Structure 1
Amino acid sequence: MKIIVCAKQVPDTTEVRIDPVKGTLIRDGVPSILNPDDKNALEEALKIKEKQPDATVTILSMGPPQAEDALREALAMGADRAILLSDREFAGADTWATSATLAAAIKKIGDYDLIFCGRQAIDGDTAQVGPQIAERLDLPQVTYVEKLTIHRDKLEVHRALEDGYEIIEMKLPALLTAVKELNEPRYPSIEGIFDAYGEKQVEVWRAKDLQVDPNHIGLKGSPTQVKKSFTPEAKGKGEMLKGNGKDVVIQLLMNLKKKHII
């Protein structure tokens, strides 16, 4: 089985700040990480590889040159091949243009049975790229996958819902998006780290290497434009009410009346 995992290097959102004047993300000094949901997607691919000795895992990403660090981490975890789509023509892409670029790269890779994506990237939270790739490649897709079982050329997938899950059976090739409940990503091994920074290489593909219309990628191919980014105003401090149950309830009711809430 040949598996492709689409992944993204993202800023660590616990340390993201917004420029109050420009309304843009301040990336200087903010560490970048492999998107968490993409790690779950990669882990599931690696688990399949462990059960099927002939399986291979290719990690695919689009981003600036420094995104190579995320791909090296994926190689250290056990991926066999890493491809980075990096070109100034890809810059400024929204989800539509990003999916067009990734789909073109997957077509170039050619031979695949299963494509994994994370549910969504923590820097955008759109959850659109995976489904858009599936549509561009005319593949069956299931999003929010929390459990996966392979039966020869079929998949049995548990799709997470707000109030439970649904079981879906589908044929290969297919595309799945993973949620964190699917598994617990492994840590890279010492041997894997040595291989990732030694023998294994990250292939870099430019726009000219893909059969894609220049008007459909990057900023030109992006119909979505972000008008403004901002940090929500901090809420006021909460008030702790002390006393026995009855006293606390009376205090709460009085406070709510003062604020004209009740």
Structure 2
Amino acid sequence: MALENVLRDMGVVGAGGAGFPTHIKVANKYDVVIGNGAECEPLLYNDRYIIEREGEEVVKGLELVMQSTGAKKGVIALKKKDLSIAGNIKKVIAGKKNISLFLLKDYYPVGDEFILVQEITGKIVPEGGIPPDIGCLVNNVETLRNVCMAEKGNAVTRRALTCIGEVKKPNIIIARIGTSFREIINLCEPTIEDFVVIVGGPMMGKVVFDLDTPVTKTTTGILVLPRDHPLVLKKTLRIEYIIKQSKAACCQCSYCTDLCPRYLLGHELYPHKIM
């Protein structure tokens, strides 16, 4: 059976947070396949856990995707500071001429796929485009691990997630899909009673008040914080207030544009003009 059909039947989707169906990605041809282990969001440790514990499966998944898409080159990307956990992967790829390890500097948002593609290939994803437009396929390392398991007949029924914040035992949890946030948090022993959850990471995550919300295939992290935490307050502001605040505070210094990752790639995006 073709890999795309296997991945569809086994329910493999992007594990980095977007959840795009992987079988659609592998149905096309590419020049290079990139395994993203850079973990863009602060405080999350899922990718590092997968690389350290299941590096062999990650490499096997990468090879399967390369074979299916005709890619001649495979790259596993992680931050240079995390090189110590990549021992298993380095051993596995040691004799493979078409697969390499790429070390990234530690900055935000280095795990963003547009940044990743530029760092590794030197190519720039066009405005409004996606990496496949320039022959690149980017998959999270857990997704590649799931590709390997799917080829063995194992459907995606669990995922790695980070539970951190106001808990006594912060940890990486291999959670069954459908497990409630409440169960995960109780397992890690919350240290406060009145708390809310940021799902994902502190930068792009969303505030969730319902602790019976289930873990899905895209749940990367559970950040437990007090209701009055500044990050929670900021993320729950009404959009009308945010717009008014921006208009009042913006002095057109253009720093936001100077530091915008897309602008730095050469895209015609000027955040200061939006203000």
TM-score bucket (shorter structure) = under 0.3
Q: Which has the higher helix share?
A: 2
TM-score by length of 1: 0.26
TM-score by length of 2: 0.25
Larger Cα-atom Rg:
1
